[in-house]
Amino acid sequence: MRSWVMASLIAGGAAVAQAAPDSSLRPAQRPEALKRAVATDTAQLAAALRPAARPQAQASDQAEDPTTEVGFQNWIREFRARAMAQGISAGVLDAAFAGVRLDPEVIRRDRNQSEFTKTIWDYLDSAVSDLRIRNGKAALQAQQARLEQIEARYGVEKEIVVAIWGLESSYGSFRGKDDVIRSLATLAYEGRRATFFEGQLIAALKILQAGDVEARRMTGSWAGAMGHTQFMPTSYLEYAVDFTGDGKRDIWSDNPADALASTAAYLKKFGWVKGQPWGVEVTLPDGFDYRLADRKIKRTAAEWAALGIRAIDGRPVADHGPASILLPAGSKGAAFMIFGNFAVLERYNSADAYVIGVGHLADRLRGGDALQGGWPRGDRALTLGEREEMQQRLTRAGFDTDGIDGKIGPKTISAVRAYQVANGLTPDGYASLRLLQRLR
């Protein structure tokens, strides 16, 4: 199961989800250099820089009344028995649910999230802005010794860890203020994804029972993502580490050490290779066969070079293992040669925009250049209804998208590409408004 989950629906293709912003948190014990650097970064993070896939979990039946406090309190009493059957003590339950009431705002945000979309280029403009780069360099300097220790222990470059930190919480200044128990209980009760969120709630209670944090200090996003790098409770239980050695895995503290180390530990667990790039921006030759821009097609850098693919500086890309060509905005947008570490970052968040955002921000923090390729900036993101309509029309035309869910994933991209081939179009798999209008 995907480990980190933001409360937003990935739109797919060139569009990424945009969640509603939370209020800023201002840690009191931040080193002065970093405190000054992050002070103005929060406003940009409020643009919701974390696209992510909807949790892949079966939803249980709707709770008897998903909108009333009475129904919620009845649900808590029923849940209490289930939690105790899984080893949660009565004392932990009493402390966790003391004063907890239904949060209608969480329900509203969960139900409305899928309508907020932005293009990948708009996302990257914010995720890798000049301000975020400056603040990231300040964070690297402020945490240099600690980050070097983390890199030595886990083999994950400090710039990658800091880039995730920057996108998840604006370097710790925007960690979320919602009561995690209240949010998860509300979402489990509301019922649309009850199985998933009840599992997260049980995991949160296990964290409390282990003594890593007190109930009211367990704060995070409205969907339950916690701390500097936004762990979901199940991921915390499996991957969080006590880097400071104080006996607690404290990702909520103003001291980010445990959170940053936990992020590195997570990436190492899923196969991060130190020294391998996540991807390299490339140029494609005239006459390139766009059917080769498929994640399932992997070749060596030398084999891609033989087809005329070069790094943006004109030189062949160095050999870092099997690689694919990625066109996140089709033939009119930037092109990337991506390696195994791209898939590792996808375990953190499956949206292409997020992975590119983390990888490119890390490159900029170590002194790399801005992306050189253009984007089809005249395009707009498709709405959820338009994405669903595209899937319906493709399927009716004989190009099966394997379901109608509004997500432009591999199946839909393959269907788009097949339609493009059949109709003499550039087969880049780009689900654009122009393509939808043609299907109409």
Tell me which residue has tokens 């005329």.
Answer: 308
* End position of a domain, from candidates 336, 365, 394: 365
Identify whether 195 is part of a domain.
yes
Q: Based on the fold, state whether residues 412 and 352 are members of the same structural domain.
A: no
Can you tell me the distance from the alpha carbon of 369 to that of 162, in angstroms, rounded to the nearest whole number?
A: 18
Q: Based on the fold, state whether residues 313 and 255 are members of the same structural domain.
A: no
The pLDDT value given to residue 118 = 87
Q: Based on the fold, state whether residues 65 and 195 are members of the same structural domain.
A: yes
Q: Based on the fold, state whether residues 142 and 286 are members of the same structural domain.
A: no
The pLDDT value given to residue 112 = 73
The pLDDT value given to residue 68 = 87
Identify whether 23 is part of a domain.
yes
Can you tell me the distance from the alpha carbon of 256 to that of 160, in angstroms, rounded to the nearest whole number?
A: 15
The pLDDT value given to residue 111 = 81
What's the chain look like in SS3? Answer: CCCCCCCCCCCECCEEECCCCCCCCCCCCCCHHHHHHHCCCHHHHCCCCCCCCCCCCCCCCCCCCCCCHHHHHHHHHHHHHHHHHCCCCHHHHHHHHCCCCCCHHHHHHHHHHHHCEEEHHHHHHHHCCHHHHHHHHHHHHHCHHHHHHHHHHHCCCHHHHHHHHHHHHCCCCCCCCEEHHHHHHHHHHHCCCHHHHHHHHHHHHHHHHHCCCCHHHCEECCCCCECCCCECHHHHHHHCCCCCCCCCCCCCCCCCHHHHHHHHHHHHHCCCCCCCCCEEEEECCCCCCHHHCCCCCCECHHHHHHCCCEECCCCCCCCCCCEEEECCCHHHCCEEEECHHHHHHHHHCCCHHHHHHHHHHHHHHCCCCCCCCCCCCCCCCCCHHHHHHHHHHHHHCCCCCCCCCCCECHHHHHHHHHHHHHCCCCCCCCCCHHHHHHHC
Identify whether 424 is part of a domain.
yes
The pLDDT value given to residue 410 = 86
Q: Based on the fold, state whether residues 258 and 285 are members of the same structural domain.
A: no
Token pair for 205: 């209670």
Token pair for 247: 């006996």
Give the domain range for residue 335. Answer: 279-365
Beta carbons within 10 angstroms of residue 422's beta carbon: 12
Q: Based on the fold, state whether residues 294 and 265 are members of the same structural domain.
A: no
Residues 6+ away with beta carbon under 8 Å from 367: none
Can you tell me the distance from the alpha carbon of 380 to that of 387, in angstroms, rounded to the nearest whole number?
A: 12
* Degrees to nearest 5, angle at CA 248 with 247 and 253: 135
pLDDT in tens, 74-94: 999 999 999 999 999 999 999
pTM: 0.85
Identify whether 379 is part of a domain.
no
Residues found in the chain: 440
Identify whether 258 is part of a domain.
yes
* End position of a domain, from candidates 269, 296, 316: 269
Can you tell me the distance from the alpha carbon of 361 to that of 358, in angstroms, rounded to the nearest whole number?
A: 5
The pLDDT value given to residue 14 = 46
Residue 86, judged by CB atoms within 10 A of its CB (0-12, 13-18, 19+), counts as exposed
Can you tell me the distance from the alpha carbon of 250 to that of 213, in angstroms, rounded to the nearest whole number?
A: 7
The pLDDT value given to residue 116 = 54
Q: Based on the fold, state whether residues 55 and 100 are members of the same structural domain.
A: yes
* End position of a domain, from candidates 216, 246, 269: 269
Identify whether 375 is part of a domain.
no
Q: Based on the fold, state whether residues 287 and 257 are members of the same structural domain.
A: no
Can you tell me the distance from the alpha carbon of 47 to that of 44, in angstroms, rounded to the nearest whole number?
A: 6
Q: Based on the fold, state whether residues 331 and 391 are members of the same structural domain.
A: no
Number of structural domains, the chain? 3
Identify whether 328 is part of a domain.
yes
Q: Based on the fold, state whether residues 58 and 84 are members of the same structural domain.
A: yes
Q: Are strands 279-283 and 117-119 parallel, antiparallel or unpaired?
A: unpaired
For the four alpha carbons of 303, 318, 132 and 155, in that order, the dihedral sign comes to positive
Identify whether 248 is part of a domain.
yes
Beta carbons within 10 angstroms of residue 36's beta carbon: 12
Q: Based on the fold, state whether residues 230 and 127 are members of the same structural domain.
A: yes
Q: Based on the fold, state whether residues 49 and 182 are members of the same structural domain.
A: yes
Can you tell me the distance from the alpha carbon of 187 to that of 32, in angstroms, rounded to the nearest whole number?
A: 38
Query: pLDDT 10s digit of each residue in the chain, 440 long?
Result: 333 333 332 333 445 544 333 322 222 233 333 333 444 444 444 333 443 333 343 444 444 455 689 999 999 999 999 999 999 999 999 999 999 999 999 999 888 765 557 899 999 999 999 999 999 999 999 999 999 999 999 999 999 999 999 999 999 999 999 999 999 999 999 988 899 999 999 999 999 999 999 999 999 999 999 999 999 999 999 999 999 999 999 999 999 999 999 999 999 999 999 999 999 999 999 999 999 999 999 999 999 999 999 999 999 999 999 999 999 999 999 999 999 999 999 999 989 999 999 999 999 999 999 999 999 999 999 998 999 999 999 999 999 999 998 888 889 999 999 999 999 999 999 999 999 999 99
